Structure 1
């Protein structure tokens, strides 16, 4: 007789679609069991649902065994965030389980939490601007909330001795090289791993939200709107 692999009694699903590097993770009490990371082709609905099915199959888990759903709230790609949050909302409502949202910049910073100083997460936000926020450990906390800035404004705002992580292009790297700070590129393993750990900690702290109240974080209005009427 084939026996099913033992899995934790408490399991959670994490979903991150904030950027082209999308990921989903299955965890038990915040500890990673399996994850799937891929470069999105911008067909998020099909990709995410297929990845979740593959993830649960790999773990030998029925979705009805999930006890919570964690989701990245952004900032990031408008369509990707909307799809990821909508899927998380639908699963949480259908399964009647808690949902927890965590910001994308915090998820980028969290793997570097043991750095002895501020951890500044940054990514390109279009229109020549950067989205950034800063964090620090012991205890883990937000120092500066997510905001937009030009590369020059960002350079002037980041304190010396910081660790800058995320999507660092050549121009930004050149700007930062003259400052006393450490620069690292994005983590290759995807954000769902950090989401599993942070989401579980916040679930245990009672920081849950009704699925309908989850909202993606957009630092500017999306460049998508209803078609204008002739003459407007």
Structure 2
């Protein structure tokens, strides 16, 4: 783990920031835009590190909460641009591959009866949970962040070569993020949404 790398993960309600082995975790329900910068400032003060002494930023780019990702990525890019720091954009799939490099298919909970998946050498996508079974063949090494995600495909999963179900915490994922290789210089990173914003329209009076 490199020193003075700021980690930011706002992809879920359980928000995590990290610096030099210190992790701060809190539950944030649509308040990340107000809470994130003060939390980072406090962490820097506790670690006695001035922003100018940071070596880089590692940020979770999704998929995950539309609003949360936008907040985290914007703050990370702000640090990178303002302080001329390299910013590593790390997806949920990247984190899993760092911890389980031999998996063939990564399956993450997308809520609403859907899954975020990425198969080897393909782009990540959003699919209905019921379609996962058709992607699993004998010998396939599958990563699931929760076995209960796809009860309809349990039989297909049993035929798979290896199944990883570690139920990793946000803190464990942040620890992995902080070991990621940084780019040589700043370049703006973009979030991986895979799904649009969940906007509730106001009722007409």
Scaled by the length of structure 1, the TM-score of the pair is 0.72
Aligned to 1:164: 143
Runs of 4+ in 1 over 6 A off after TM superposition: none
2:158 and 2:199 map into 1 onto residues whose CA distance is 38
List per-residue Cα deviations over 1:181-213 (Å, max 9, x = no partner): 324143122422221112xx242xx4x5523xx
* Structure 2 counterpart of 1:122, from 96, 107, 118: 107
Aligned to 1:179: 159
Secondary structure of the residue aligned to 2:109 is strand
The worse-fitting range, judged by mean Cα deviation, of 58-67 and 69-78 is 58-67
Residue 178 of structure 1 and its aligned partner are, at CA, apart by 3.3
| Compared CA separation, residues 165 and 126, structure 1 to 2 (3 A) | closer
Structure 2 partner of 1:216:
191
* Whole-angstrom distance in 1 between the partners of 2:19 and 2:69: 19
Closer/same/farther in 2, CA of residues 174 and 109 from structure 1, 3 Å limit: farther
Q: Which residue number corresponds to residue 17 of structure 2?
A: 24
Give 3-state SS (helix, strand or coil) of 1:107's partner.
Answer: helix
Q: In the alignment, what sits opposite 2:123?
A: 145
- Tell me, yes or no, if the aligned pair for 2:60 and 2:90 is still in contact at 8 Å: yes
Segments of 5+ residues of structure 1 without an aligned counterpart are 1-7, 28-32, 135-141
Q: Which residue does the alignment assign to 2:174?
A: 192
Match of 2:87 among 90, 99, 106: 99
**Structure 1 residue corresponding to 2:52, chosen from 29, 39, 64:** 64
Secondary structure of the corresponding residue to residue 124 of structure 2: strand
**TM-score computed with the length of structure 2 as normaliser:** 0.80
Structure 2 counterparts to residues 33-52 of structure 1, below 5 A:
33-52=21-40
Contact 1:109 1:119 in 2 (8 A): no
Q: How many pairs does the alignment contain?
A: 197
Kept in 2, the 8 Å contact 1:23–1:190? The answer is no
Deviations 1:131-156 (A, max 9, x none): 0124xxxxxxx533211122232232
| Secondary structure, counterpart of 1:15 in structure 2 | strand
Which range is displaced more, 79-88 or 144-153?
Answer: 144-153
